[in-house]
Amino acid sequence: MGVRRTGAADSRTRILDAAEALFADRGYEASSTARIAGRAQVPKGLVFHYFPQKIDVLVALVDERTFVEDAPDEPAEAVPGDPAGTLSRLAGRLPLHASPAMRRILFREADTHRSVRDRLGHLNSVLFLRARRALEIALPGARGDQARLEAAAATFAAVLIYQENLAGLTGQHLDPDAVADLITRALGA
Amino acid sequence: MGVRRTGAADSRTRILDAAEALFADRGYEASSTARIAGRAQVPKGLVFHYFPQKIDVLVALVDERTFVEDAPDEPAEAVPGDPAGTLSRLAGRLPLHASPAMRRILFREADTHRSVRDRLGHLNSVLFLRARRALEIALPGARGDQARLEAAAATFAAVLIYQENLAGLTGQHLDPDAVADLITRALGA
Amino acid sequence: MGVRRTGAADSRTRILDAAEALFADRGYEASSTARIAGRAQVPKGLVFHYFPQKIDVLVALVDERTFVEDAPDEPAEAVPGDPAGTLSRLAGRLPLHASPAMRRILFREADTHRSVRDRLGHLNSVLFLRARRALEIALPGARGDQARLEAAAATFAAVLIYQENLAGLTGQHLDPDAVADLITRALGA
Amino acid sequence: MGVRRTGAADSRTRILDAAEALFADRGYEASSTARIAGRAQVPKGLVFHYFPQKIDVLVALVDERTFVEDAPDEPAEAVPGDPAGTLSRLAGRLPLHASPAMRRILFREADTHRSVRDRLGHLNSVLFLRARRALEIALPGARGDQARLEAAAATFAAVLIYQENLAGLTGQHLDPDAVADLITRALGA
DNA sequence: GATGAATGAGCATTCATTCAT
DNA sequence: AATGAATGAATGCTCATTCAT
C-alpha cells in the first residue's frame, strides 16, 4: 500500500517467488505448500490467506507472471522481401514474457491443469498467426499456395515453442535461425 | 514366465496396466500406490512385492512398455530421389513402440525422472540419426551443405516427437507430410 | 446504542444474526468465526472486537436472545375449575421468548456449554413451577395427592419443552392439548 | 481372526471405544481423530484404515452399538387389566440396547447427522407402537377413544426417550412409573 | 506369492486469535 | 470502531512403505 523497501518484497510476492522456483524445479504436485511457505519465509497459514487453494498459486503465477502479446496486424519484424530475417527477428523477440522458470511450469503442468494449458494454447495460436502474417508480408509475391504458408507458420511456431523444452529434455539444440533458413528456402525463390 | 490363464492377466501385469492408465491420466505424483492397487484389483501390499519402491513401477513401465528401434544404416523408408516420400514413410513408421498412454507418460514425467528423460532422449537421437541418414540416401547429390541437412533432420525429428503433444495441448495439428514437403523443397532442386 | 440507520443493522447485530443462523444450522463447533464474519458481511477482525472469544458469541446470543419469564404467583392462564383450558393456555403462551433458531441452539448446545444448559434448566423449572401453580388453582379441591400433581406438572413441562425437538428429530407430533386432556382426566373428577 | 486375549481388544474395537467415550463427553465435532487415536493407543493413520472418513466412526458406533428391538405383536409386558404395570414394565425394559454414552451420542448428534437421527426416529416409532399395542392389550374394554390412546402412547414414548436427557440437562427427574400412573388414570376405570 | 493391518511423516487446509494501522 | 495481514497449532486425511502371517 505504501512505498516498498528494496529487497523486502511483500509476503504475497515472496510466496509466488518461492512457488515459481519450486514448481519449475520439481513440479506442482511435488511441491508442498509447507515447503513453499518455508522457502518464502512466511508462516504456513499465510499461503492460504492469499491463495485459498494450492491450485490458486499456480493460477496466479500463470495469470500474473506470463504474458502473451497479441498478434498485431503489422508485426514489427516483418520486412518485405526478407523472409529469413523476418522469421529470425520473430524468433529473437518471442511474444511471450515469462521467466525461464515460468516457461518450464507452462510446459510441465499444461496437461493436467486447464488454466495452464489455455495459456500455452493461446501462446501457440498467437505465434502461429504472427508467423503467418509476417510471412505474408515478407513474401509479397504470395509464392506457393496458402496451405504451404500455413504449414510453414505452424512449423516455425512449434519450433519456437518446443525448442527450449527439447534442449532441456534431449540435449538436442535446434537453431531457430537454421529453421528460418529452411522455411525461407521451402517457400522461396 | 510360466503358463498364463486365458483372460486373466497376472497380478504384475494388472498392476502395470493400472499404473499406465493412472500415470497417463493424472501424472506419477498424483497417482498413489493404493489407487494403483485398487484399479488393478490387487491388495496394496502386492504392489510392493513386485516393485519395492513406487518409482520402480514407472521404471518398469518405461523399460517394458516403450521400445525404441535402433537406427539402421540403411533405413527401409529411404528411396534415392524421393526425399518427400522418404520422410513421409519415416513419419508413418515411427521407431517408437508405445501406447498413447505411455507416450503421454514419456513426456509428462521426462523432466523430473531421469530414466524417462533418458528414454525420450534416446528416441530423439535415434529419430534424428535415422532422418539424417534417410535424407542422405534420398538426396544422393548432396545438394546443400551438411549443416542444412542436419537442421532438416533435427527439425523433422522434433516435429515427429512433439506433434502429438502439441495437438493435445494446443489443438494445433501439424501434418508431418506437409512438413516433409517443406523440407524437401528447402533441400531440394 | 446510538442512533441506528434504518434498514442497516449495526455490525454487532449482524454478527449475532449470522451466528444465530449458523449455530442453529450446523452447531457451534462447526461454525467458524470466519464464516460468521462472512455471513455477517463484516471483516473477520471485527467479530473479536465485539466478542473477545468465540464462546462469547454464544453466551451473548443466549443472554440477549432468549428470555424466560418468571413464574408469577397467579398465572394468567389459570382458571379454577378448568384444568384442561388452563394447561392449554399455558401451552399456547410459553414463557420462553426465543426464535426457532435460538430454541434449536438451546437444545443442541446445552450439554456442552454450561451457560446454555443453565438457561434451559431455568426454563424447565419455571415451566414446572408455573404448571404446578396453575393446576393448583385450576383444581381447588386438591383432588389427588401432591405427588401426583407434581408428576403431572413435570410431565406437562417436559412435553412443552421437548415437543418441538421431538417433532424435528422423529417426525412425531405430540399435541399439547391432547396431553392436557390426558392430564386433566388423570387428576380429574 | 482367532481367539482374542482378554483385556486386549483389537485396534478397531479400541478406536470405537475411544470414540464412544469422547463423542459422549464433548461431542462429535469437538473430538478430533488424533485424540481418538491417542485415547485408543493406536497410530493416527489406523483410524482411517478402518474408517475412511471421520463420520464413518460415528456411523459405525450407531450401527454396531445401538440396537432397537422390533415391536412384537404381543409385547411381553402387556397384561390385560393391568395398564399401570404394563407401562411400568415397558419402562423397565426399554427396547433400546445402548450404553449410556451411546444414548447421549444419539441425542446430541441427532440433529446434525442423518444416520443418527434415523436411529432415534426408529426408536421413537418402535416405542410408540409398542406402547400403543401394550395399552390395547392391557385395556381390553377399549375405554376411551382411539385418539386418546394414541396420545397416551406417544406421551409415554416421549417421556421414556427424553427422561434421561431431561435429567442430565435440567436436573429434573421424571419418574416413568408416576407417568404410567397418570396415564392409567387418564384412560382408566 | 499374497494379504491387509500397521505406521508415522506429511499433506492441504482451517482455525481462533492477535495486532498494527 | 474497523480492517485485514499475520500466526502457528490443529484438523481430517493420504501416503509410501513395512511386516507378520
Domain with B37, as residue range(s), is 11-64
CA distance C5 to chain D (A): 37
Q: What percent of chain B has pLDDT over 90?
A: 75
Q: Which of A17-26, A142-151, D129-138 has the lowest mean pLDDT?
A: A142-151
The pLDDT, as a whole number, for residue D142 is: 59
Cα torsion angle, C23, C112, D124, D146, sign: negative
Whether residues C148 and C92 share a domain: the answer is yes
Q: Which of A15-19, D58-62, D142-146, D162-166 has the lowest mean pLDDT?
A: D142-146
Whether residues D97 and D179 share a domain: the answer is yes
Q: If pLDDT is split at 50, 70 and 90, which confidence band does C4 have?
A: very low
Q: If pLDDT is split at 50, 70 and 90, which confidence band does B144 have?
A: low
Task: Judge if the beta carbon of D115 is closer than 7 A to nucleic acid strand F.
Answer: no
Chain B residue numbers with beta carbons less than 8 Å from the beta carbon of A154 are 172, 174
Q: How many CA atoms lie within 13 A of A80 on its CB side?
A: 5
Mean pLDDT of C33-41: 94
How far apart are the C-alpha atoms of A93 and A84, rounded to whole Å?
A: 14
Closest alpha carbon within chain B to A129: B172
Mean pLDDT of A103-130: 91
Greatest CA separation for chain D:
64
Which of the other chains make 3 or more beta carbon contacts under 8 angstroms with chain D? C
> Residue A168 pLDDT > 50, yes or no?
yes
The pLDDT, as a whole number, for residue A179 is: 96
The pLDDT, as a whole number, for residue C8 is: 56
Which strand E nucleotides have any atom less than 7 A from protein CB atoms? 1-20
A77's enclosing H/E stretch is: none
Number of C-beta neighbours around residue D13 at 10 A: 14
Whether residues A83 and A29 share a domain: the answer is no
Whether residues C52 and C92 share a domain: the answer is no
CB contact under 8 A, C111 and D104: yes
Mean pLDDT of C56-71: 94
Number of C-beta neighbours around residue A63 at 10 A: 12
pLDDT for B66-123, tens place per residue?
A: 999 998 888 999 999 999 999 999 999 888 999 999 999 998 899 888 999 999 999 9
Whether residues B53 and B129 share a domain: the answer is no
The pLDDT, as a whole number, for residue B6 is: 43
> Residue D54 pLDDT > 90, yes or no?
yes
The DSSP code for A81 is T
Chain D residue numbers with beta carbons less than 8 Å from the beta carbon of C158 are 158-159, 162-163, 166, 172, 174
The answer to whether residue C168 is domain-embedded is yes
Answer with the one of C64, C87, C102 that is the final residue of a domain.
C64
Mean pLDDT of A129-144: 84
Task: Judge if the beta carbon of C44 is closer than 7 A to nucleic acid strand F.
Answer: yes
Q: If pLDDT is split at 50, 70 and 90, which confidence band does D2 have?
A: very low
Q: Who wins on pLDDT, B143 or B35?
A: B35
The pLDDT, as a whole number, for residue B1 is: 39
> Residue B51 pLDDT > 80, yes or no?
yes
pLDDT for C105-116, tens place per residue?
A: 998 899 888 999
Number of C-beta neighbours around residue D97 at 10 A: 11
Mean pLDDT of D134-154: 86
The answer to whether the CB of A123 falls within 8 A of the CB of A96 is yes
pLDDT for B171-182, tens place per residue?
A: 899 999 999 999
Chain C residue numbers with beta carbons less than 8 Å from the beta carbon of D105 are none
Q: For chains C and D, tell me whether 3 or more CB atom pairs sit within 8 A of each other.
A: yes
CB contact under 8 A, A169 and B111: yes
CA distance B2 to chain A (A): 38
The pLDDT, as a whole number, for residue C112 is: 85
Give the number of domains in chain C: 2
CB contact under 8 A, D112 and C183: no
- Residues 68-107/C with CB within 7 Å of nucleic chain F are none
The pLDDT, as a whole number, for residue B121 is: 92
Q: If pLDDT is split at 50, 70 and 90, which confidence band does B142 have?
A: low
Q: If pLDDT is split at 50, 70 and 90, which confidence band does A107 have?
A: confident
D151: nearest CB among C111, C161, C182: C182
Q: If pLDDT is split at 50, 70 and 90, which confidence band does D144 have?
A: low
Whether residues A24 and A60 share a domain: the answer is yes
pLDDT for C122-141, tens place per residue?
A: 999 999 999 999 999 998 86
pLDDT for A55-89, tens place per residue?
A: 999 999 999 999 999 988 899 999 999 999 999 99
The pLDDT, as a whole number, for residue C142 is: 58
The pLDDT, as a whole number, for residue D8 is: 52
The answer to whether residue A44 is domain-embedded is yes
pLDDT for D150-172, tens place per residue?
A: 999 999 999 999 999 899 889 89
Mean pLDDT of C91-100: 91
Whether residues A138 and A178 share a domain: the answer is yes
CB contact under 8 A, A172 and B182: no
The pLDDT, as a whole number, for residue D3 is: 35
- Residues 24-43/A with CB within 7 Å of nucleic chain F are 42-43
The pLDDT, as a whole number, for residue D143 is: 56
Whether residues A135 and A81 share a domain: the answer is yes
The pLDDT, as a whole number, for residue D18 is: 96
Whether residues A180 and A96 share a domain: the answer is yes
Whether residues C102 and C163 share a domain: the answer is yes
Chain C residue numbers with beta carbons less than 8 Å from the beta carbon of D84 are none
The answer to whether residue A3 is domain-embedded is no
The pLDDT, as a whole number, for residue B79 is: 93
> Residue B3 pLDDT > 80, yes or no?
no
Helix axes A114-138, B146-170, angle to 10 degrees: 140
The answer to whether residue C20 is domain-embedded is yes
The answer to whether residue A73 is domain-embedded is yes
Question: Residue D54 belongs to a domain with what CATH number?
Answer: 1.10.10.60
Whether residues A54 and A144 share a domain: the answer is no
3-state secondary structure A128-185: HHHHHHHHHHHCCCCCCCHHHHHHHHHHHHHHHHHHHHHHHHHCCCCCHHHHHHHHHH
Chain C residue numbers with beta carbons less than 8 Å from the beta carbon of D114 are none
The pLDDT, as a whole number, for residue D9 is: 76
| Cα R_g (chain A), whole angstroms | 20
Whether residues C153 and C172 share a domain: the answer is yes
The pLDDT, as a whole number, for residue C7 is: 46
Q: How many CB pairs under 8 A join C and D?
A: 127
Nearest to D130 by CA among D94, D163, D102, D165: D94
CB contact under 8 A, C171 and D121: yes
| DSSP-derived secondary structure for B138-188 | H-TT--S-HHHHHHHHHHHHHHHHHHHHHHHHH-----HHHHHHHHHHHH-
D168: nearest CB among C111, C147, C169: C111
The answer to whether residue A2 is domain-embedded is no
The pLDDT, as a whole number, for residue D63 is: 94
The pLDDT, as a whole number, for residue B145 is: 83
Nearest to C17 by CA among C51, C52, C54, C57: C57
CA distance D147 to chain C (A): 9
> Residue A3 pLDDT > 90, yes or no?
no
The answer to whether residue C6 is domain-embedded is no
Task: Judge if the beta carbon of B54 is closer than 7 A to nucleic acid strand F.
Answer: yes
Mean pLDDT of D129-148: 85
The pLDDT, as a whole number, for residue C105 is: 93
The pLDDT, as a whole number, for residue C72 is: 87
The answer to whether residue C1 is domain-embedded is no
Task: Judge if the beta carbon of B62 is closer than 7 A to nucleic acid strand F.
Answer: no
